[in-house]
Amino acid sequence: MTANNNRLTIILSIAGLLLLLPLIAMQFTNEVNWSLSDFIVAGILLFGTGGLIEFSLRKINQVSQRVWIIAGILFVLFLVWAELAVGIFGTPFAGN
């Protein structure tokens, strides 16, 4: 059980560190200009993805099935992130 908790701690720590990158960048350049809502949405995406991956690792026993499900979770994350960033699909979800 300790290994699972350590893995969850690592996954959530990585998500938190990824959120720190734009915060640090905002201190040094005007090119990065995130609002509080940007951080909230990014946090939901990153922590939600990390939680889903951890859940998949705990509940799915077959390695090949794990790989495909985690790849699918990451694919959805990247699609949503790209849509929010540049609106490649042109949905109202991206603010277009």
Q: What is the pLDDT of residues 35-83, one digit of tens each?
A: 998 899 999 999 999 999 999 999 999 999 999 999 999 999 999 988 8
> Could you tell me the residue range of the domain that residue 37 belongs to?
2-94
pTM equals 0.84
User: Who wins on pLDDT, 86 or 46?
Assistant: 46
Between CA 15 and CA 46 the distance in angstroms is 6
User: Rg of the chain's alpha carbons, rounded to an integer?
Assistant: 16
Residue 28 has pLDDT above 70, yes or no: yes
What's the structural domain count of the chain?
1
Note the pLDDT of residue 95: 63
C-beta atoms surrounding 2 within 10 Å: 6
Output the CA torsion 90→86→71→76 (10° steps): -40
Note the pLDDT of residue 90: 76
